[in-house]
Amino acid sequence: NAGVTQTPKFRILKIGQSMTLQCTQDMNHNYMYWYRQDPGMGLKLIYYSVGAGITDKGEVPNGYNVSRSTTEDFPLRLELAAPSQTSVYFCASRENRGGGYEQYFGPGTRLTVT
């Protein structure tokens, strides 16, 4: 298993541009998550999905959109990039069973908006 993969690894955007961060997992996990990591702030949940076709907002969803057309893929869309969206973005997925669980993280995408 490749686990959780993300592309691209790095990206520089100009203000107002748009882009899609890709996330794919091959573990047949229903649950998937997008986080952003800012220095000294820990990880904040942007959006999550409990299965194909079902998504919901996390703590910091403004400026982002997601879709989940398949179990494997959970892309994150930035429509009008702003400097405040400069961050490292992590995608994660978790096992389907209930109770305590572990989230598996991708390698991250470092995004700079100038």
| Residues contributing to the site for another protein (CB under 8 A) | 33, 35, 40-45, 48, 50, 56, 58, 90, 92, 99-103, 105-108
- Minimal distance in Å, beta carbon 27 to another protein? 14
For another protein, the closer CB: 23 or 81 = 23
Any idea how long the chain is?
114
For 55-99, the DSSP string reads: EEE-S--TTEEE--SSSSB--EEESS--GGG-EEEEEEEE-SSSS
For another protein, the closer CB: 26 or 79 = 26
Instruction: Give the closest residue to 109 by CA, choosing from 2, 8, 5.
Output: 8
- Minimal distance in Å, beta carbon 62 to another protein? 18
- Minimal distance in Å, beta carbon 9 to another protein? 10
For another protein, the closer CB: 27 or 43 = 43
For another protein, the closer CB: 62 or 98 = 98
Judging by beta carbons within 10 Å of its beta carbon (0-12, 13-18, 19+), is residue 14 exposed, middle or buried?
exposed
- Minimal distance in Å, beta carbon 105 to another protein? 4
Using DSSP, state whether 105 is helix, strand or coil: strand
